[in-house]
């Protein structure tokens, strides 16, 4: 979703703001802008539609300032257009950038128009800058003006506000949208994401929901939602500026696919012993809490939801626990019956997904026994709001299409399943077997990445196609769903996934020579059933592309293409085969000339409903 960068320094901040925007491009956007207070204490602003490089090309060479804000916008209210791009300015005095949605913007707009305010955009954001200006006229103090304006806003926001009346000051506020403060020496910064500020600092302060921060070159003062001054801890990030660079890779997505062995190894580190999973990895009191759990409810969005669907099979099959998995945006609007002692599990890469956060808040109202999150962002809202946490140590994931976040979520789920299964009949031998398989997993993924050339050989069969069908059975059905999602979101090929046993219930009508059918076929108890389903495709003239265990009896013919996969235990198969589907989607997207890392209309982190 939209990205914010801001700075107050003793030097020209324009290069810092532009570099920060470039590092937030992965979040998805359609326009960008920057505003600074120049040496004459005037607000100078440049905005453009398109990429940050286009904004950079439009900057006046003389545009300089020691206080400024910048933004990448993903259109919600108002089409992608220069006039709708941020920052927004009121009467050449107050400039503002905003992430989120103001739900009551229409009522505010009508009231402000009656007061004589002119609107130059169709955005909901413009009502905020007018409201702050109105309050500034009353108080002559930027912090007081922001404080006075916020109660009139209904919705979600992260804000960066500056005024040329107080040129060395930046006020930030957040409710429902993430915002971080970068701590420097004689300079301070704000951003939506740590990644934006890594070139200038590795020390960060994470604002809590409802916080307002008063920021100057020399100090940061934070006030909580009740207006009380509070201290937020300053944390040192282990990330470096190079950690979010592409390096030798053509795209971030390819880099992140290849980082999966390391990401999985890091996620397992200090969580498993020789033959057991450490329940303490979920929190000091986790072992005792887990013993009382009688059911699991998983809630997530997108790729994380697919991971949750795989987890459902594992919770029921290994831990003997009833489990439901649901899309967060649906869960939060129904009235579920909560069984006693149910663990509420959320999955998220960013920890800031609006629907998942709302579902977590709803879960507390519904009376779930405990909440646990599996997340890749340690200071995120989801992590701070959950009773128990297991971090996936995947590192920064820049590509919009999630790859290593998905596979590390699966690993984390398996750790949780094992820890919960102990009191539900999972034997010590069974736990030791799972631990052994997890230890060998990074090496297996390395081996799978060696099939990249074979995957590329399939690309010509997909490049000019408009539709594709993905098939799987058991735990491979959610993997097929994930493969279809990857293909559609980065190559723009319409792709759907079905349980292979459902072919005769509709999808078979679509099968013809122009629709490639992709199947994942590990060697498991459902293999014979799957092979019968594949025969149904062959009989209708369909063209099959099968990732098959090398021990399987699936052979190539003119209409059947097979990539032989080294044998893998059925428990690890969802993780291993997911990597192959990621590679297929990536190479097809490249062949079609698509913007792999920033696909159209999509954002990395969906921080508004």
Residues acting as catalytic residues: 2, 604
Which residues in 542-581 belong to E strands, given as ranges?
543-549, 560-565
Burial class of residue 57 in the structure, from the number of CB atoms within 10 Å of its CB (0-12 exposed, 13-18 middle, 19+ buried): exposed
Pull the structure tokens for residue 514: 């122009």
Question: 3-state secondary structure string, 330-368?
Answer: HHCCCCCCCCCCEEEEEEECCCCCHHHHHHHHHHHHHCC
How is 398-413 classified by DSSP, letter by letter?
-SSS-SHHHHHHHHHH
180: Cβ–Cβ under 8 A, 6 or more apart, which residues?
Answer: 190, 191, 192, 193, 194, 197, 204, 205, 206, 207, 379
Q: Is 441 left (phi over 0), alpha (psi -120 to 50) or beta?
A: alpha
Pull the structure tokens for residue 300: 């997530």
51: Cβ–Cβ under 8 A, 6 or more apart, which residues?
Answer: 25, 32
**Bridge partner residues of 300 (DSSP):** 327
Give the Cα separation of 479 and 6 in Å (integer): 40
Residue pointed to by tokens 């010509």: 460
How is 21-36 classified by DSSP, letter by letter?
HHHTGGG--SEEEEEE
Give the Cα separation of 607 and 609 in Å (integer): 7
Within its chain, how far is the Cα of 361 from the centroid?
19
């Amino acid at each position: 979703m939209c990205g914010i960068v801001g700075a107050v320094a003793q030097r020209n901040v324009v290069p810092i703001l532009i570099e920060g925007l470039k590092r937030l491009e992965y979040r998805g956007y359609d326009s960008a802008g920057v505003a600074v207070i120049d040496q004459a204490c005037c607000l100078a602003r440049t905005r453009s539609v398109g990429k940050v490089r286009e904004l950079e090309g439009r900057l006046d060479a003389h545009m300089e300032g020691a206080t400024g804000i910048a933004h990448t916008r993903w259109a919600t209210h108002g089409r992608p257009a220069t006039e709708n791009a941020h920052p927004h300015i009121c009467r050449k005095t107050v400039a503002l950038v905003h992430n989120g949605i103001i739900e009551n913007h229409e009522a505010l707009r009508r009231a402000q128009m009656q007061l004589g305010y002119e609107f130059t955009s169709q955005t909901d954001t413009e009502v905020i800058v007018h409201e702050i200006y109105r309050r500034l006229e009353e108080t002559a103090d930027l912090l007081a003006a922001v404080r006075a304006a916020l109660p009139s806003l209904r919705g979600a926001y992260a804000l960066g506000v500056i005024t040329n009346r107080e040129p060395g000051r930046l006020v930030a506020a957040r409710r429902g949208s993430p915002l971080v403060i970068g701590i420097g020496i004689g300079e301070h910064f704000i951003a939506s994401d740590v990644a934006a500020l890594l070139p200038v600092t590795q020390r960060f302060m994470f604002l809590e929901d409802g916080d307002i921060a008063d920021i100057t070159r020399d100090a940061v003062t934070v006030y909580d939602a009740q207006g009380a001054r509070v201290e937020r801890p300053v944390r040192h990030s282990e990330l470096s500026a190079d950690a979010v660079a592409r390096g030798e890779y053509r795209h971030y997505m390819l880099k992140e696919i290849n980082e999966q062995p390391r990401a999985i190894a890091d996620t397992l580190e200090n969580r498993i012993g020789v033959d057991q999973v450490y329940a303490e990895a979920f929190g000091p009191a986790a072992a005792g809490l887990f013993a009382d759990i009688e059911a699991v409810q998983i809630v997530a969005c997108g790729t994380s939801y697919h991971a949750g669907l795989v987890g459902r099979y594992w919770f029921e099959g290994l831990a003997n626990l009833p489990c439901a998995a649901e899309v967060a945006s649906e869960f939060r609007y129904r009235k579920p019956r909560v069984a006693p002692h149910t663990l509420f599990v959320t999955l998220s890469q960013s920890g800031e997904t609006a629907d998942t956060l709302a579902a977590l808040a709803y879960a507390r109202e519904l009376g779930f026994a405990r909440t646990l999150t599996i997340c890749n962002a340690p200071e995120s809202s989801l992590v701070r709001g959950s009773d128990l946490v297991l971090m996936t140590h995947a590192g920064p994931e820049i590509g919009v299409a999630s790859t290593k976040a998905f596979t590390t979520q699966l690993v984390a789920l398996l750790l949780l399943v094992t820890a919960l299964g102990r009191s539900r009949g999972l034997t010590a031998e069974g736990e030791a077997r799972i631990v052994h398989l997890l230890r060998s997993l990074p090496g297996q993924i390395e081996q799978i990445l060696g099939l990249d050339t074979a995957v590329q050989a399939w690309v010509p069969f997909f490049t000019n196609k408009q539709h594709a069908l993905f098939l799987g059975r058991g735990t491979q059905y959610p993997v097929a769903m994930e493969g279809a999602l990857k293909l559609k979101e980065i190559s723009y090929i319409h792709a759907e996934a079905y349980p292979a046993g459902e072919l005769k219930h509709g999808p078979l009508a679509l099968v013809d020579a122009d629709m490639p059918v992709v199947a994942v076929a590990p060697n498991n108890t459902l293999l014979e059933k799957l092979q019968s389903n594949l025969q149904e495709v062959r009989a209708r003239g369909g063209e099959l592309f099968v990732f098959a265990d090398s021990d399987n009896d699936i052979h190539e013919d003119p209409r059947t293409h097979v990539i032989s996969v080294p044998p893998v235990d059925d428990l690890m198969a969802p993780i291993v085969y997911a990597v192959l589907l990621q590679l297929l989607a990536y190479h097809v997207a490249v062949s079609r000339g698509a913007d792999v890392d920033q696909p159209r209309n999509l954002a990395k982190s969906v921080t508004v409903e």
